[in-house]
A and B are shown apart, each in its own frame.
Chain A
Amino acid sequence: MTEHPLHPRLPFDMKPRAALAAEDALLQQFIFTATHEKDRGRVRVCQRAFGERYDALRGLAGAIKQHTLDHLDSYLERFIDRAEAAGARVHFAADAEQANAIGARIAEAHGCRLCVKSKSMVTEETGLVPVLERLGVEVVETDLGEFIIQLDHDAPSHIVTPMIHKDRRSVARAFVRELGAEYTEDPERLTRIAREHMRTKYRRADLGISGANFLVAETGSIVLCTNEGNADFSVSGPPVHVVFAGIEKVVPALRHLAVFLKLLARSATAQEQTVYTTIITGPRRPADHDGPGEVHVVLVDNGRTEILRAPTRELLRCIRCGACLNACPVYRKVGGGHAYGAVYSGPIGAVITPLFKGIENYPDLPRASSLCGACFEACPVKIDLPRQLVWLRRESVEQKVTRWRERLMYRLWAATLERPWAFGLARFLQRWLLRWRARSRDSGSQGQRESPLDPRWMTALPGPGRGWTECRDLLAPPSGTFRKWWRSRGRGAESKGGGP
């Protein structure tokens, strides 16, 4: 049995997956095109709409979410009161197991057989679907991308566009195999097939499950944003609607929701708005003809209260737009989300996954970033992801998650820098060794360079230096040092002005 892409054996080693993806030219091209275009699109539509206010608006959205988190107890209490006043039932799950048990209990109590489910990262995180399936409930993912992934027994690789790693041929094969459809590679016809198939499910479903993009404390509302309309089908037809939502989804009031709606779709997919933005406040009213008779909201902690403790609190501002994934050069190069071995990938995943699951289980993730800051610039709620990554690296050193060789190396490095004589000796040794290496037979003279062999270049280094010379050469140090040259110019040289 192959390993599950998002729930691997722990501790997780990122490197084999990243290495495989780096060699897959087609995957590299897919992910690059998809993320690069979305990233440029985000900048374009945000500049067009907000101009010079873009940065201030991100600051405002971040401040609203930070305020809400700082007073999360108050806003959650308010949300619960108002949701119940509107007729919804609110449940409380400390962890994934409890969340799934609540979902299972509701499905059992109503004798549900067929569940239509819209995309929800929280249920992906808790592993709800297999739990319901074990109860004999058929669960259909209704988002087109998630549906294809479900048919293919695959896992999402991007939090907004889940099948970013798959092409139309794999969709065609899945539809032939699982739905008995005629083979076609035309995306238009493939979509029609999915539409007709899904409608037979919507009409028979007795349970609708969704996530929530936002919870509104003021009105007890839950907010769903989709482009396909699948969430609206899932939560309008069946008699029971169960919402799974992380506690960080709360915003104070409807007018604050407006601020986030201005940023979410623009940041996620470079659209002004998602096609469907649905605000659900309780079950259907007595006079209504349709809509679910019961709405259950399952508030999920599952590690979030740990992150809520300062200094990681700002991470819970995240509205799951995926802009940081699209902007991240590492996410692109490692072939998308699967290389992160967890539900949340990209820069945000690199920080929250170790916090959810333990740094010792994901030792590579805090370092899966060049700290270039593109994620910080893209984030609509201004989460300082580079700072959080650095903080996490420090934590992993303090918790001794890093290897002893690395720790020893930094010890020696620090000791050397503290002592001038040791620094001088280290410099001497380094220069001497590199120059000796460059002259020696197994380096310069055996290199694959086309030009006459140049003994100043090293084409192969042993040990820890191998990684460097595998894809480029290293210039050996010159015979003289900068310090020696500086001293030889004499004191008077300084006043003459010009450089060397």
Chain B
Amino acid sequence: MHWTFTGGGPHPVGMVTLGERPATRVRHTPRPSSVQLKIVMAVSGALALLYLVAHMIGNLKIFLGADAINTYAAWLRTVGEPALPAETLLWIVRAVLTVAIVAHIVSAVILTRRAHRARPIKYAHRPPVKGSYAARTMRWGGVIIVLFVIYHLLDLTTGTLNPNGVSGDVHANVVADFAPHRWYVTLFYAIAVVAVGFHVRHGLWSGLQTLGRSSAAAQNTLKGVALVVAVALTVGFLSVPFAVLTGLVR
């Protein structure tokens, strides 16, 4: 019985016996746990980053001439032979990468949905926290990267959307792709690469934070390392289209 003070005179007061525990809300524990999701993000992100670094270094072979990059592209398919059948290692890498990316995206989606549920009402007024730009662009930056990767595969892996589209002739395909009149492709590429840069800058630091034991002093070092890697990746990836655009590579 609940007694309120809005009525006339005093009424009897409710009674409770001790030992009776107030009803606790029934909650279920979400699985996987938030920390597990974070660890998945970190590990899968690390795999993707390793791939990106290798990819970027491979790209730079274009500056050594058409033969260099085309030979390199062919080698990627034959590496491991004759011990392994052709393209085995390539497909292993592709499989691992796909699993990592899918795990990364699924975890990110779950964490995002939980984050929205955890903060259903936004602040009327919240200024951005200094230095958190990269952190705040992770989600839509990630979406841009996914869209770009799909296009990128159709463009330079399958050749479907490439104006040249000759399998094995990587140099020609790239030069055709970033031709000056196709500026919109270059722009899309550049935006995606910058998004990757931001993503890596926060992601690398965040992953180290998740998996490592960082101290207050080490944190600034880690942030520095993440920034250097992110800038190196961005510059490395951007150098190719801009070289084509400016005629350095033709």
Bound pair: A and B? no
Taking Cβ atoms with an 8 Å cutoff, the residues of B that contact A are none
Residues of A within 8 A of B (CB): none
